[in-house]
Structure formats: structure tokens, C-alpha cells
Structure 1
Amino acid sequence: MAFQKPAATPLASDEARSFGALGLARRCARSPLRRVVAAQLARVILRLCFAGAVAAIVGRLVMSEEASLWLVLAAPLLLVLAAAAGADADRAQANAETRVATDLREAVGRRLVAMPARRVQSLPAGRLIVSAQRHPEAVAALVVGHQAATLMMAAGPLAAASALALVSWPSALTVLALTPVMIVFFVLLGETIRRRAQTQEEAFGYLAGQFADRLRALPTILANDALAGEEAKLTRRLTIYAARTMEVLRIAFLNAAAIDFFTSLSIAMLAVFLGLGHLGLATMPGFSHLELWRSMFILMIAPEYFSSFRRYAEQYHAKAEGLAGAAALDRLLDDQPLAELAAASRGGLRIEDLPPRGLVVITGPSGVGKTVLLRRLAGVDRASGRDDACAGFPAPVWVSTDSFVPSGTLEKAIAWNVENAPRPRVLWAAEEVGLLDDERLPGGLDARIDKDGANLSGGQRLRVAVARALLNERPVFADEPTAKLDPLTADKVRRALRGLAERGLVVTASHDAALAALADRVETLSGDPAQEDVQ
């Protein structure tokens, strides 16, 4: 058997192939973000004016001077207006994030509708649900909340420093001198929290995927009294996710603690300098011989200078979670033929180069494009780009967690689409992959299978597909055939694939080093991740 090289097909625009969750969210956030920033800036200005009014009133009263009536009336008005501006800013931010998340979620739905059915079926159900429900909110928090905090981190301190400079330029320089230290601290923590958020996202994705897989197989699990064991597995996944979440929170708390430290340090320094100046114990330009209201104004404005940094620190973890969520959405929803072709080129694997028989294993790190390359070679859907010139060759057997499983019995599921499948041969194939030893499939070949194999776990679906391949004479393309299997069963599947390779072609995409050790040819892909492989 030989394969023909697929003919070149016209490529759609890159914009159509790339989902670009972050770009979509930023475009949706442009208009509401301006309103959020305007409200937050108004709050800062009103609070500065309130601080000035209170400082002038208290200073004059302490010095037994008469406070102006307009100051007395303006102070409570400014306080009310500042509180109203703050409430309006918070409301605008919440509404903007909800709007962006809703628009992004609708874009996800449109993308899924436009994708080929096979491509949608190949998506891991658990991660898809997480991406549609959780990630849009994380991305919205990034492009609205975090972006607003970033803009205000420039405008807020600038306004506060300008106000300080009006009464004492050395005090303004004092708080400005601490700013580069905080920026360096943000940079150092930024990469750390980004990595922690990425591992948190991966842990949650694995948890969601495992939960969806067990939910699908729940009737079988209950029938075989295996609930306790499956609960323990999910508990382990949940514990891992909780640990990753705590790592992110620790960094966030450390960030907030650093801001509080610098705030307290600056206020303490200013208080000492101003106190020494008022007591006449030291003569320092800008701190000595100041009117009392000016000193009070400086001490009231200094915390306001750092408040924007504190709000930015509170939103810093939102940046990491938003970037991780956008990346996860893109990995699931991107349609990247260019990346697939690049992966094929890097691996050196071409359809016409495949041997008539033998075991070919495609390996490489997660996300490098193993699955998309395998689907392209197998031609499991139109998006794979397989040429019509291959139509003269037998269609391959596709082995994956999305392999079709009809309802009925286990025997019918294994023998589906097989021309010659007497019961003894089906029994042999089922035994070769450990399906007869599965306690969650009682009844042997007569075990009941629900519609579309709804009561099967991912590992059981894989073994049904491998058993079906054992009954065929066609080439076999298997995506992670030993994933989701215990060590003993995985070893049986490896031996079955090795046996198939003695009489025909078997091509697999796998992380399994033991399977790669049995291969006649290993193709290792490397490069930037194009799509995440899910085990």
C-alpha cells in the first residue's frame, strides 16, 4: 500500500483560522473601558480635592484660625461626590466585564458552529465546557479591570504627585523615589505569577476533563461499584488544583504586602521629616517651616499616591489568569493549517513517505501539533487536507477517544464496519486489549453499550477502537492509544499495535516512551505549540 501526496488547497485568511480571544475581547472593551477609566480618574481627583479641603480646615482650626465657610461646605460635598464616583466606577467595571465576557462567549459559540463536526467532536468535553464558561470571564477581567488599573497606575500617582509638588516638591520627590523599586518588584513577580497561573489552568483543565469522562461513564461505574475508586482519583486531581491555586494566591498576597510596605514606609518617612521640621530639630528644604495644613495635606495625599499601585496589585493575578484563559481558548478554537503544515515539515513526515507496514510513532511535547498532523495524514475530516487521489486506497481505521461506538453489545461495537467478524475473532480481539477483564463492562461480548458509547470511559472507547483495528486489514492511525489506561492494560495495547504493525501500517501520535521504543520509525516534532494535546 502507498499514499499519494495531497494536492495544495487554497488557504483561508489567517484571521479566519486564528480565534484570537484576547484581540476580540480588547475590541469589545474599547468603549466601556473609556467610561471605567473616566469614572476612576474622577474619583481620584475628587479624593485629592477632599483631602485638600479637610487638611485646610483642620490646620486652620488647630492654629486657632477661622476656616472659610466654603471649605466647610465643600468638604462633605466632595466626599459624597468621590464616593459616588467610586461606586459608578465599580459599577461600570462590573458591567463592562459582563458585556465583554458575554460577547466573547457568543464568539466561542459562533466559532464552534463554523468548525467541522469532526473537529468539534475531537475537542475534550471538559476543557471545552471550562473554556466556554470560565475563560471569557477571566479574559474580560484582564482587558477591563487589569487594563483600567494599568492606566490608572500612570494617571493616579501623577495626579497625586502633582498635588504634593504644589505644597512641597521634596515630598513629591520622596514618593517618586520609591516608584522604580515597586516597578522592579512587579516585573520580578510578573513572570512567577504567570507561570503559576499557567500550571493552575492546566490542573483545572485536567480536572474538568477527568470529571467529564467519569460523568459519561457514571452508569458503568455505579453498576460495578467503582464509585469509591473514581472518587479518590477525582479527589487527587482536585487536591492538585487546590495546591496550584494556593500558589497563585501566595504570590498575589506577597504582591499586596509589598505595596503596603512601601506605602507605610513612605508615610513614615514623610511624617518623620515633617515632624522634625515642625519641632525645629532639623532644617530640610520643603519640610521645615511649613504651615500645619500643608503638612496634613502631604500625609493625606501620600496614601492616595500608592492606592493606584495597590489596585494594580489586586488586579495583577487577573492578568495572569486572563492570559492563561485566552491561550487556552485559542488552543481549543484555532484552526491553523499553516501550523499543521509547519509541524509536518519539522517532523519530515509526508504521506507518500509512509511505509506499507510497520509502526510509526509521532512524538513531541504537548501542543506541538502531533494530533493535527496525525489527523491530516489519516484524512479523518475535510479540514485535514487529504487529497482525493488517496480515495483508491482503503480508508484507515481511526483510533481515538472520539472513535465511533454504536449502541448494542460490546461485540457489535468492536465488529462495527468490519467485513468479516465472526464471534471467535471478536472474542480474541477483545481479549487482546483487556476488554474481557474490565470489571466495569460485565457480560463479556454481551455487555450493553449505550447510544454513542455514552456509558464508556475514554480508555474503554480507545480499547474498543484498537480491538476493531485488530479485525481489519486497513492502515491504522491512533491518537494517544495508551492514554487513560492503567499500566497493565496499556502494555496489552502496545503489544496489540506492535502485532498489527507486522502485517500493516500503524501510525500513532503519543507521549508514551514505551510505545516509541517498539516503533520502527519515530518522528519527533518540535517548535512552538500549535494545539494542546489532551491526555
Structure 2
Amino acid sequence: MRISNDRKRTERRGNRATTAPLADNSTDHDPALGLARNFGTAGLRTTLSWQVARTLFRIGFAGSLAVFAGRLIEDAAFDVIALSGALACLALSAAAGVLADLAAAGAEDVVVDRLRAALQDSLSRKSPVRIRTRPAGALVAGLQRYPGAVAGLVISHSVAKSMLAIGPTLAAVAVALVSWEAAITLFLAIPVMVIFFVLLGGVVRSRAEAQEKAFGRLAAQFSDRIRTLPTILANHALPREHGKIEARMTLYADSTMAVLKVAFLNAGIIDFFSAIAIAVLAVLLGLSHLGLMHVPGFSGLALWQSLFILIIAAEFFTPFRRYAEQYHVKAEGQAAAKELDWYLDDSGTAMTGADDAGAKPFTIDGAFDAADFPPAGLIAISGPSGAGKSTLLRMLAGIETPPPGFKPLLQVTAEGCDWISTDIYVPAGTLGEAIGWNRGGHERAVLQSAAAHVGLLDERLLPGGLDARIAEGGDNLSGGQRMRIGIARIMLSGGVVLADEPTAKLDPQTAKLVRQMLIDIAKRRLVIVATHDERLIEAAGRHHVLRVPSQDGQAVAA
């Protein structure tokens, strides 16, 4: 692609990004959770209010039903008022539950939408080199999946956590009005449940983090295999790649089941201890009514009071059961928030080639001045992954802001620059249109010569010559085909060639072809490559190594 046009598009994106700044109320340690909680504050309060109302109506239902059943059994009296109150409270409880669920769903949708907008805004301000540190598949899948998991944590789980204190308190107060001894009996079961929450919490959290990592690796691998499918088919490697993806899917399924197993175990433990507590109450109340034993607070109660205690006892443990059901939501949400913190990390945004103190984030071996570059030849730039090789190329091209004193090539050459890589932009249309894109008008014979030189006319997986159909974005192209289209493009111009990892992710035969083409072009023009390819480095007339300062300030190279 031509750098001048790409530079304009980059500047427009930067201008748009400044109009939508990231909210500044997130915490330093948990920016994703801070944003999500802020976005969900109003919805959380509404949902919690309806849940409290639902609990109160259920307590009212329990009291009315107990009075109705007690009078019906002891006095053979059909209490219409008590029955009507029970039915009314039941209906209101159901309505409050529906409204609470709707409020929770609406609040989570708001959190997801606003969180995605904040993430997209943050990504628009990150430097391309920072974004490329993550696989495209994992990046897109994370935007799709993680906001929903975080929304579930800040809404559904937060409501369940709040009701864990509010629900049992309301139920215990209602029981205490009849028998404070029974209320204390209910509270005795709480420490045991809390202990199991703590013990299982760490297990669920670690397994949820493993699940999210497995999901990210699966998404990245799937995206990469889809992009390189033509190459896979050409090399008859489909069965092998199918086996790899199937293994990843199995690993992700196993990690998901590992999370659910612990969550189900947690819920089962809650049900077990709540059943024991209710059974103890039922035995004490039953033996007291039969006159077989005398227990303070349980003897001398009317039948409706005993029934009320038993019904409310079930309501007392309901919040614990719901919290246990939401426990894996907490673990998944925390793991997702941890992953989203990368998206919101501003340390990789608006990369300028210098840190806050004005120092370069990397050092370069040898003199590196665009004004001193030869008119032709091959210059290789190497260094460890993430050292800034692509950033340096973008500085040379003028699409990254360079540090003071660094001159982009556009300031020292009138020929312009051409950028090539395995992910260059390819428009939908024909092969001829893809080669001639952004190059002005060229005769078909010129396009034919360029395509023939890079071996695209006799491409078995791209039949039709210059009329071969190209899908939008080049989705039906392999990395090698993209690279050869890029090389064919630069043959139509005479500027400096900037090649970003030109032989990466290519099969050996295609990499050899691309390497030789760049060497041939370097005999007539200046070619600057950022690469790990040792053979390409050996063929270069000049070699510069990027060194990244370590924690102790010493420069570290590849």
C-alpha cells in the first residue's frame, strides 16, 4: 500500500479517537472492572431493589400461607383473608422476580455496550505494533466474549452477593418475631457454608483463568487457520490442522467442564447443609408438638408459627443457593476483566518512539539516519519480538510519530515509500485490480508482466490470470499470495521498499522466492526489512540490531 494514503487514514483515525476519551473513573489496578461497575451502577440498584421487594413478598406469602394452613388443620376453618393474602403476595413476588430479571438483563446489556465502546476507543488510540502483539482471532473473540462475562460479574453476581446479606437478614428477622431461638439455629449453618465458599473459590478462579486462556488460544488458532486455508490445502495439511484445532477445542471443553464441576459441587454443598438445617428445625418443632421433648423457643408454638418457621427457613437459604449458582460467573468475570485490562492499558497508545522521559524505548546498533541511506541496497533490522522493529519501519514511513531529530523517509526522498507484509490490504475484484490498487492507471501488459514476475499467473490455487477473483480483504489468499501481490505492486513504482517480516508465516518454498525477489529489487532500489530471517540478514548490505533496555537498564538484543 502507498504510505501517503495510509498516513492520512491513520491521522483521521487519531483525530476521531480524541473526540471520545476513555472514562477516567476506572481504578489503576482493575480498569475494566472499574468501568463496568460505573456503567452498571444504576441498573444494579434497580435490580437489587426488585430483588429485595421479591424477598419481602415471599416472606408475606410464607406468613399468609402458614396462617391459612394452621387454621385449616387446627380449627378446620377456611380463612379466606389469609388465602387471598397468600395469593396476592405470590403474584407480587412473581412480578417482582420478572422485573428483577428484566432489570438485570437490561443493565448487563448497557454494561456490555458501553464497555465495548470504551474498548474500541482505547484500541483506536493504541499503536499498531501494540495491537499486533495479540493474535487477531483472540483480539476479536475477546471483544465479543469478555464484556458479557464482566457484565455478569458486576450485575448478576453483585446482586447475588448483596442478597447474600439482605435476604437471610430479612428472613431471620421474620423468624425471630416468632422464635429467636429458631433464628439463631439458622445462623449456625452460615459459617460452614462460608468455609466452603472460601475453599472452593480459589479452585474455581484458577480453572476459570485456564478456561479463558484456552478460549483465547482456540480463537487465535482458528482465525489463523482460516486466513491461511489456501496454503493449508495446497500443502495437503488439512487433516493435521484439523487435528490441532480439534485438540484445542477439546482442551477448551475440558476447561469449561472443570469450572462447571466445581460450581455444581459448590451448589450441592449448599443444598446439603441447608437441607440438614431445615431437617433439624422440622425435627425439633415436630417433637415439641408431639410433646416428646421440651426445647425453649420450639415448644408451645402454634401450628401456623411452626409452619411459618419451616417455610421461611427455605427462604433463608435461597440467597446462598443463588450465590453458589453465580460463583462460576464471578470466576469467569474476574478472568475476563483481567484479560480486558490489556485492551484498556494506555501504555501502548499513541506510540511516539519515546517514553514519558523522552528516552527511546530501544537503541539501534550503528548509525541510523535516513539521510545517509544509500539509493539502493538491502538494509536489515532485527531484534527480539516486541522490540519495535515494525514501529521503526512505521517511523521511517511517517505513519508513527518519530522522536525528536528522527527524519522519516518522506522528508529525505521524493520517490515515496511502499509497504509490504503478509497482511497488506487487498480489495475485492480481480487480481489485476489488486496489483494495480492505489498505483494509478497501468496498461494490462504492465500488470501482466508484474504478475508473471512473481509467479501469480501460473498460480494453481488462483486460476484465471489477471482476471482471477479476489474476495473482499483477500480472504481467499494465503500469506504468500498476499506478499507476492505486494511485491508486484512495488514493481510498478520506484520508491523505497519497507518490508515488515516479509518471510514470516510462509512455507519454505514461498519464503525462498520472496527472499530472492527482495534481493533482486535491492539491486536497483533501497529495501529496508524488519526480519528474523537469518538468510535475509546475511544477504543485507547493512544490518542494524534493536536492543531493548532491561529492568537494570542494560540493553538486550535478540
Instruction: Give the structure-2-normalised TM-score.
Output: 0.68
Matched, 1:44 2:25: no
TM superposition shift of 1:485: 8.0
Cα distance, 1:311–1:499 mapped onto 2, change above 3 Å:
same
Amino acid at match of 1:240: L
TM superposition shift of 1:386: 3.3
Matched, 1:238 2:238: no
Matched, 1:275 2:314: no
Aligned to 2:535: 496
Counterpart of 1:141 (choices 152, 162, 179) is 152
CA contact (8 A) 1:475 1:504 kept: no
Aligned to 2:162: 151
Cα distance, 1:97–1:392 mapped onto 2, change above 3 Å:
closer
Cα distance, 1:225–1:135 mapped onto 2, change above 3 Å:
same
Amino acid at match of 2:544: L
Cα distance, 1:272–1:477 mapped onto 2, change above 3 Å:
same
Counterpart of 2:97 (choices 86, 96, 113) is 86
Counterpart of 1:303 (choices 299, 309, 314) is 314
Rounded to whole Å, the distance in 2 between the matches of 1:274 and 1:354 is 86
Higher relative contact order, structure no. (Cα contacts within 8 Å, ≥ 6 residues apart): 1
CA contact (8 A) 2:52 2:166 kept: yes
User: What SS does structure 2 have at the residue aligned with 1:505?
Assistant: strand
Amino acid at match of 1:504: H
Query: Equivalences for 1:363-512 in 2 at 5 Å?
Result: 370=386, 380=395, 386-391=402-407, 402=423, 454-455=475-476, 495-496=534-535, 499=538, 504-507=543-546
TM superposition shift of 1:71: 1.2
Matched, 1:258 2:297: no
Q: Larger Rg: 1 or 2? A: 2
Aligned to 1:74: 85
CA contact (8 A) 1:252 1:313 kept: yes
Cα distance, 1:202–1:401 mapped onto 2, change above 3 Å:
farther
Cα distance, 1:311–1:230 mapped onto 2, change above 3 Å:
same
Matched, 1:54 2:70: no
Amino acid at match of 1:147: S
CA contact (8 A) 2:218 2:248 kept: yes
Rounded to whole Å, the distance in 2 between the matches of 1:464 and 1:142 is 47
TM superposition shift of 1:264: 0.9
TM superposition shift of 1:141: 1.4
Matched length: 480
TM superposition shift of 1:279: 3.2
CA contact (8 A) 1:175 1:266 kept: yes
Matched, 1:23 2:34: yes
Rounded to whole Å, the distance in 2 between the matches of 1:329 and 1:382 is 30
Rounded to whole Å, the distance in 2 between the matches of 1:81 and 1:103 is 33
Cα distance, 1:133–1:289 mapped onto 2, change above 3 Å:
same
Cα distance, 1:281–1:112 mapped onto 2, change above 3 Å:
same
Matched, 1:189 2:228: no
Aligned to 1:160: 171
Cα distance, 1:399–1:197 mapped onto 2, change above 3 Å:
farther
When you count helix as a share of all residues, which structure comes out higher? 1
TM superposition shift of 1:98: 2.2
Rounded to whole Å, the distance in 2 between the matches of 1:439 and 1:274 is 85
Rounded to whole Å, the distance in 1 between the matches of 2:139 and 2:198 is 32
Matched, 1:33 2:44: yes
Rounded to whole Å, the distance in 2 between the matches of 1:359 and 1:113 is 27
Rounded to whole Å, the distance in 1 between the matches of 2:545 and 2:536 is 7
Aligned to 1:323: 334
Matched, 1:351 2:390: no
TM superposition shift of 1:474: 10
Rounded to whole Å, the distance in 2 between the matches of 1:108 and 1:165 is 49
Rounded to whole Å, the distance in 1 between the matches of 2:351 and 2:424 is 21
Amino acid at match of 2:74: M
CA contact (8 A) 2:351 2:401 kept: no
Aligned to 1:175: 186
Counterpart of 1:103 (choices 96, 105, 114) is 114
Amino acid at match of 1:267: I
Aligned to 1:5: none
Rounded to whole Å, the distance in 1 between the matches of 2:486 and 2:535 is 12
Rounded to whole Å, the distance in 1 between the matches of 2:309 and 2:259 is 35
Rounded to whole Å, the distance in 2 between the matches of 1:122 and 1:47 is 53
TM superposition shift of 1:30: 1.6
Matched, 1:216 2:227: yes
Query: Equivalences for 1:329-344 in 2 at 5 Å?
Result: 329-337=340-348
Instruction: Give the structure-1-normalised TM-score.
Output: 0.71
Aligned to 2:211: 200
Q: Percent identity?
A: 44
Rounded to whole Å, the distance in 2 between the matches of 1:184 and 1:487 is 58
Rounded to whole Å, the distance in 2 between the matches of 1:488 and 1:280 is 93
Rounded to whole Å, the distance in 2 between the matches of 1:387 and 1:98 is 42
Cα distance, 1:337–1:277 mapped onto 2, change above 3 Å:
same
CA contact (8 A) 2:380 2:544 kept: yes
Cα distance, 1:478–1:32 mapped onto 2, change above 3 Å:
same
Rounded to whole Å, the distance in 2 between the matches of 1:453 and 1:362 is 29
User: What SS does structure 1 have at the residue aligned with 2:301?
Assistant: coil
CA contact (8 A) 2:362 2:546 kept: no
Rounded to whole Å, the distance in 2 between the matches of 1:463 and 1:255 is 57
Rounded to whole Å, the distance in 2 between the matches of 1:508 and 1:486 is 28
TM superposition shift of 1:132: 2.9
Give me the CA root mean square deviation. 5.2
TM superposition shift of 1:44: 0.7
Aligned to 2:298: 287
Cα distance, 1:489–1:129 mapped onto 2, change above 3 Å:
same
CA contact (8 A) 1:123 1:332 kept: no
Cα distance, 1:258–1:171 mapped onto 2, change above 3 Å:
same
- List per-residue Cα deviations over 1:338-382 (Å, max 9, x = no partner): 9999x989xx9853464569997547xxxxxx46x5655665588
Rounded to whole Å, the distance in 1 between the matches of 2:149 and 2:77 is 53
Rounded to whole Å, the distance in 1 between the matches of 2:338 and 2:229 is 31
TM superposition shift of 1:93: 1.6
TM superposition shift of 1:236: 1.6
Cα distance, 1:198–1:501 mapped onto 2, change above 3 Å:
farther
What residue ranges of structure 2 are gaps of 5+ in the alignment? 1-17, 368-378, 440-453, 488-495, 516-531, 549-553
